[in-house]
Amino acid sequence: MARIGIDIGGTTIKFGIVNDEYEIIAKTSCDTCAERSPKDIMNEIAAQATALVAKAGLTMDDIECIGIGAPGTCNTRAGIVEYACNLHFENVPLQAEIEARLGRPVRIDNDANTAAYGEYIAGAAKGSDSFILITIGTGIGSGIIFNGKIYTGCNYAGAELGHIVIQKDGILCGCGRHGCFEQYGSATALIRQTREAMEKRPDSLLWKYAATLDDVTGNTPFEAMKAGDLVAGELVANYMRYLTCGLTNIINIFQPELMCLGGGLSNEGETLLSPIRLYVAEERYSKYSLHQTRLEAAKLGNRAGIIGAAFLDRAHS
């Protein structure tokens, strides 16, 4: 039988029908329109899922289960999104509401957890006993898998690794703390750092790859660095020190078999990974151990959240 995986993002909701070989055989998406009420968003989810099933030539009787990855704190036992600030969700019974609308079993979890589970069952972490996914995007997303299970903590808010502090009394974070990892190691942080460097150095090649400050992306400094720009090279090196500080902290705490990096910056491949491995090797606690955490790029991209969500019933069994 097939499954439905749903990945709720701040701007887009992605849907996929997934078979037992972890292949997405049909997919669609819609705008989240986060300003809508939870009821309207859930009605939209049900309508889009129903239409996708029909488009694939199936009926709901062909769907074994439905999984949903949602931002925020998801009580997986009760099926409730306790809090998701970007969606204005507070104690929303997402699982029961979608089950009532679609008539199939539903499981929910945090969206970063579902992406990590997708990589674990079908991507870069397949076969690993312990695995952490770090997604470098607007913030720092993360998911932890130990012995095939998603780690959520006692209150379902575990694995928020973007909110470990790497700079005491540093930049104010949206979570209310100062100096959080994501304020220095996210793609958003790198964009901010790049804009600051461009304003200080109008002679930099950074301006060749971003005509205005609004055109800057996380890849801009890497492109300028590859072209030989010294300002970009220094910028990237400084960013990498922040990034690897956070990554090394996480490795020192968990010592996972594998850590994968996802998000748009992971497309830089070895340009990103090679220096990270060097920095981590210098600073990790267990440098003399024969067994070290491997650092690799995630493989599934945007498919990870859909695939992981579709098999949440196995993750929570």
Q: What is the pLDDT of residues 168-186, one digit of tens each?
A: 999 999 889 999 999 999 9
Equal fold, 2-120+303-315 vs 128-297: yes
Q: What is the pLDDT of residues 295-313, one digit of tens each?
A: 999 999 989 999 999 999 9
CB 81 within 8 A of CB 92: yes
| C-alpha 170, offset from chain centre | 24
CB 304 within 8 A of CB 69: no
* Average per-residue pLDDT for the chain: 94
The yes-or-no verdict on residue 99 having pLDDT over 80 is: yes
The yes-or-no verdict on residue 196 having pLDDT over 90 is: yes
Q: What homologous superfamily does CATH list for 2-120+303-315? A: ATPase, nucleotide binding domain (3.30.420.40)
Q: What is the pLDDT of residues 224-238, one digit of tens each?
A: 999 999 999 999 999
Using a 10 angstrom Cβ sphere, with 0-12 exposed, 13-18 middle and 19 or more buried, the burial of residue 78 is: middle
Please give the single-letter amino acid code of residue 128.
S
CA-CA-CA-CA torsion for 1, 114, 151, 108, nearest 10 degrees? -70
CA angle 286, 137, 41 (to 5 degrees): 125
Domain spans in the chain, listed from the N-terminal domain onward? 2-120+303-315, 128-297
Give percent of the chain with pLDDT exceeding 90.
Answer: 85
The pLDDT assigned to 1 comes to 87
The pLDDT assigned to 86 comes to 77
The pLDDT assigned to 290 comes to 80
Using a 10 angstrom Cβ sphere, with 0-12 exposed, 13-18 middle and 19 or more buried, the burial of residue 151 is: middle
Please state, as a whole number, how many other Cβ atoms lie within 10 Å of the Cβ of residue 246.
22
Q: What is the pLDDT of residues 29-63, one digit of tens each?
A: 999 998 999 999 999 999 999 999 999 999 999 99
> Which H or E run includes 43?
helix 38-55
The pLDDT assigned to 287 comes to 75
What is the second-level CATH architecture of the domain 128-297?
2-Layer Sandwich (3.30)
Range 156-170 average pLDDT:
94
Range 1-16 average pLDDT:
94
Using a 10 angstrom Cβ sphere, with 0-12 exposed, 13-18 middle and 19 or more buried, the burial of residue 238 is: middle
pTM: 0.91
Range 126-137 average pLDDT:
94
Secondary structure letter of residue 173 according to DSSP: P
* CA atoms of 107 and 315, how far apart (whole Å): 10
Q: What are the counts of helices (DSSP H) followed by strands (DSSP E) for the chain?
A: 11, 13
Range 3-32 average pLDDT:
96
The yes-or-no verdict on residue 116 having pLDDT over 90 is: yes
